[in-house]
Amino acid sequence: MWFYEKKLQYPAKVGRANLQMAKFLITQYGGPDGELAASMRYLTQRYTMPVPQAKGLLTDIGTEELAHLEIIATLVYKLMDGASVDEIKRAGLGAYYADHDKALYLVNGEGVPWTAAYIQSKGDPIADLHEDMAAEEKARATYEWLINLSDDPDLNDTLRFLRQREVVHFQRFGEALQIVQNYLDCKKVY
């Protein structure tokens, strides 16, 4: 069960509307290393974790990724706010507009819709936790490339926050991996 807090985890400010940046940023909404993929990966894998610490961690981080999804959605919405059809066409978002107007839709920067094929749920906790650590590093790298693409200090401030959370999550998954490895080692001995 979840409780919803009617506020963002971190402020989502943009200096100005920027359609080009909206097109780049939407990959963190519905792209392969985006926040939905992260959340669904962790919330799906948690059932087959062998220790409560790992189950709890996947639940916590999977939940936080939903809060990040909401921040990304807010940013994309603001970056597209007030744009004319002409501006949308020029930014290469004409095809997106034809299908979605300025509504949020789960796609990557190229318009490819989100798919469960982005994530795995292996049933092997070691394999799953390695995927999770890789996912955090891929998301961290994506945020760095997005920061390189953006000249908006307000937007970059939020992207830096989200990037730092990926670093923290990597550490926590790494700790969970040690706990699970110890647990599996002990099970073999006794």
CB atoms within 10 A of CB 159: 23
Torsion of CA 24, 145, 67, 105, to 10 degrees: 20
Contact 7, 132 (CB under 8 A): no
| Rounded Cα distance, 114 and 22, in Å | 17
Among 163, 183, 186, 187, binds other proteins (CB under 8 A): 163
Choose between 87 and 157: whose C-beta lies nearer to other proteins.
157
Among 85, 116, 168, 182, binds other proteins (CB under 8 A): 168
Choose between 89 and 160: whose C-beta lies nearer to other proteins.
160
For other proteins, the binding residues in 169-188 under the rule CB under 8 A are 170-171, 173-175, 177-178, 181
Give the 3-state secondary structure of residue 104: coil
Longest Cα–Cα distance in the chain: 69
Residue 162 near other proteins by CB under 8 A: yes
For other proteins, the binding residues (CB under 8 A) are 10, 130, 133, 143-144, 147-148, 160-165, 167-168, 170-171, 173-175, 177-178, 181
